[in-house]
Structure 1
Amino acid sequence: MNEAQPLIAVVEDEEHLAQGLLFNLQAEGYRTHHEADGDAALAWLLNPTERIAAVVLDCMLPGTDGFEIVRALRKAQRYTPVLMLTARSRPEDVLEGLEAGADDYLPKPFDLSILLVRIKSLLRRTSWQRAQTASDATPEPPQPKDEYAFNHRTIRFDHLELVAPNRTTHLTVMEADLLRYLTEREGQIVSRKEILDQVWRVHEDTDTRAIDNFIVRLRRYIEDDPSSPQHLITVRGVGYRFLANP
């Protein structure tokens, strides 16, 4: 198979499911690599022999679970797109996966065509980022950018990053999507239920307070003092409000 074709890593311990995923991904023209054990998967993902285009990652694995794998990858500054597979009966898995740094999720059982579309979407975003980075290095007339600026910070949605005076923070797709949703509604109260339904597509009954840890992480990105937020404000009992100019 052509090595120029994207490499998709499948981390899944259910053999029949893994083999079905591998077969269909290969039929779509992707190269694949399979790991069934969390410890072995993490070791391989941290030291791959070639660039990985995306990871399809089950949340429940023998050894290191999927959540810890994502956390370890992000801590090591590995930002390969991760699509997590979660149990349909556990919407809290979705929230934990997003909080850990996953880019997207799919509940089991899932439609294969939906999984393939989600993977293509993640790869498309990655290719856009590379194209934008290449164009930034080329001396051409400036083009409008997909950005939002406030308080000496700039969210670059096209690059999935937040640029602050002393650092640049890589954003996951879900982090960028939530920040976009909030900034587009600047000054408005956005409920937790609205975030779950409109941004993360979690439609089942869930303890919406579970997203607070995710908000805490976003505050570390955008606030001068995360313990006393001025931009991402909690509206007690309801949700959150974003203020560009408090």
Structure 2
Amino acid sequence: HIDVDIKHYTTFISGYCLQGKPDVAYSTFKEMEENGLKPDVVAYNVLLAGLFRNRRDCEAVDLLSYMDSQGVKANSTTHKITIEGLCSAGKVEDAEAYFNSRKDEGVEIYTAMVNGYCQAGLIEKSYERQAGLIEKSYELFCEISNQGDIAKEGSGFKQLSKDMEIRGIKPDVITYTVLLDEGLKQFYYGRRKGKDAKYNVLTIWGDMKQMGISPDVVTYTVMIDGHMKIHNLENAIIFFKEMIALRLEPDIS
């Protein structure tokens, strides 16, 4: 006799969804509840993604409401699945309404909305939302860096990463690229003063490297272009030479 737990049921649900059997997946979900097991957020997310994938968006939305009624808190993965799923189903306005009701929960929901617009073919809106993503990332970065004197801590970059993840931001090359881009723009427009200047772009760059995150060609392009705009040609050349040494070339095709 094998005791079936939540993880087993979640695996079954995922498999049925991948096979194009959302009804069986949903029945398995209900069976789990009938057997006295309370589905966790992972189980809900798996079924939610499966319903959207199989074009059962109305049932997916109903599942969200049921999830909330059961006291299961949605996470960043839930938001991503919902926004991108609604956009793929052509329900962009519903996705926007969902985004607007939760946009203060972290940067990842902005990324989901950008991806959703792209899936719906709304490239212009995607660019507009990306600007909000950059601004939100930088605001959170400054807020975190100004809480306590992180710059004086020996493991400052580790603490920063931990704090970012707590706030729903999983630092990666994209996160750091948008932070660097906004930081350079702040210098360019002369808006960085006082505490906001504590974490300058070179500090952000150093933290990224220490985190083991490798800058890509987009990151280098941001650094080169940004330093040229603030008339720091010396640094622009340094970053250009470093990019070439790493054999990173801009895609101009």
Please identify which structure carries the higher strand content. 1
Please identify which structure carries the higher helix content. 2
Greater relative contact order (Cα < 8 A, sep 6+): 1
Tell me if both proteins adopt one fold, taking TM over 0.5 as the criterion: no
Structure 2 length as normaliser, TM-score?
0.31
